[in-house]
Structure 1
Amino acid sequence: MAFGTQDDTDEVMNEINMTPLVDVMLVLLIIFIITVPVMKHSVNVDLPRAINQPENLKPETVRLSVSANGDYYWNESQITPEELLSRLQTEAAKEPQPDLHIRGDKAVRYEYVAQALAAAQRTGLRKIGFVTDPQQ
């Protein structure tokens, strides 16, 4: 049973079936008609202009070292525990506050480092960090 006749000739087909093309174009037209009004519903606001320049104000860094025998060094100069407290208070009053880097010797008793950390916290310093050597 044959459903259609088929030519055995190798002729090129001259016609283009336009129905699928028209269907696709109509669907796209409907999509654009629906979405364009939704995109237009916005509130017009006159936004203020601002200059976006990074602030190059970098706070200084204070290095507090605790030696193996419990001596305190403020940026490589030796100080007493009383001087430590007064210098920490001076630095805490600055704006912006400096970073405090505490470097404790490996052999120092933890008590000395804890006292320096507690003194820094009492004075109100907020940026406190510990300096360590990474293992090779």
Structure 2
Amino acid sequence: MRKQKQGRRASAPPDEPMMDINTTPLIDVMLVLLIMLIITIPIQLHAVNLNMPHGNPPPSDIKPEVLRIDVDERSTMLWNGEPVADLPEVERRFEQLARQAVQPEVHLRPDKRARYDIVAGVMASAQRAGLNKLGIVGSEQFVP
């Protein structure tokens, strides 16, 4: 029995040439073509062209009213300094403000010891009434 050379199939006789296609050059050429294709494709920028106005807008003559709502440590609500009985009363007042042509800015200032449900109720009431200028003032007291 003759010994077979390494790299040959066991079924092929030792003196016959190998009939398999060498795919390494084919893969190299395909990779080069793929890289060239990737490089030559232009980068698409997804931009939206807007026609923006030029210059500064004229200053508004109407200054918005500022409404201050405080919630103290006993969860008592104060409407510009005067106590309010309950959340339905706050909601009624918000509905009246929402009907105005120029809605006021509502500055909510909760104490950090106030009950969460009272503060959340005031914010929910403002949203239900349709007020869209609501800000929480004094949040630096919550930072440790």
**Which among 62, 75, 85 is matched to residue 57 of structure 1?**
62
State the SS of the aligned residue for 2:61: coil
Q: TM-score, normalised by structure 2?
A: 0.54
- Deviation per CA, 1:18-71: give whole Å up to 9, x if none: xxxxxxxxxxxxxxxxxxxxxxxxxxxxxxxxxx74221011000011111211
Alpha-carbon distance between aligned partners in 1 of 2:136 and 2:60, rounded to the nearest angstrom: 26
**Which among 120, 123, 127 is matched to residue 129 of structure 2?**
123
Match of 1:93 in 2: 99
Match of 1:108 in 2: 114
Structure 1, unpaired ranges of 5+: 1-51
Alpha-carbon distance between aligned partners in 1 of 2:61 and 2:137, rounded to the nearest angstrom: 24
Match of 1:132 in 2: 138
CA-atom RMSD in angstroms: 1.6
The reply on whether 1:73 has 2:78 as its aligned counterpart is yes
Alpha-carbon distance between aligned partners in 2 of 1:58 and 1:94, rounded to the nearest angstrom: 14
Cα distance change of structure 1 residues 134 and 74 upon mapping to structure 2, 3 Å threshold: same
Deviation at 1:134, TM superposition (A): 3.9
Match of 1:15 in 2: none
- Deviation per CA, 1:75-108: give whole Å up to 9, x if none: 0000112321111111111111100000101101
**How many residues are paired up?**
84
Deviation at 1:124, TM superposition (A): 0.2
Structure 2, unpaired ranges of 5+: 1-56
